[in-house]
Amino acid sequence: MRLDCQALSVQPSWQQVEAAIPEHTVDNDELARQWAIGLSGDLAAMAPLTSPTMRVWHSTDGIWLDAADAAARMADASAASPVVGAFEDVRTTVTATGFVVQAVIDRGGVRTHIAQVLTVEDGVVVAVEEYIAPEETGG
């Protein structure tokens, strides 16, 4: 009598497979791609890409904020001047320490350009330096 060992093998559950895989860190290319997707429409999707201790700096005031204060300021700014649409023309460049993002957003007829310099450690964003400037018109 032959015994079909393959038919008797027990398939592990998804949780068992996940537990057997070492902690995965996302490389800078993938993190930049996911960040760009977030900027292009769903800003909340960026939260899992960040460290709980992430710091944010804006060129408009030169102050470093923790993640909670930065989120609160973003909510206040959105309430005061609703953003029309998502960021457009989002481009990323990967660096040895993270990545750089360039994008444009229309805030009620005023196009605003951003450049973000993001620092990555252990597969998450730990710092964002954001340079913000409205587009000059006419001349």
Distance (Å, rounded) from C-alpha 16 to C-alpha 85? 42
Report whether pLDDT(37) > 80: yes
Would you state the torsion angle of the CA atoms of residues 85, 119, 125, 37, taken in this order, to the nearest 10 degrees? 30
pLDDT at position 73: 79
pLDDT at position 123: 92
Q: What is the pTM of this model?
A: 0.74
Distance (Å, rounded) from C-alpha 117 to C-alpha 128? 6
Please give the residue that has the higher pLDDT: either 126 or 39. Answer: 126
Distance (Å, rounded) from C-alpha 99 to C-alpha 118? 5
Q: Average pLDDT in the 92-96 region?
A: 95
Q: Average pLDDT in the 100-111 region?
A: 88
Q: Average pLDDT in the 4-22 region?
A: 47
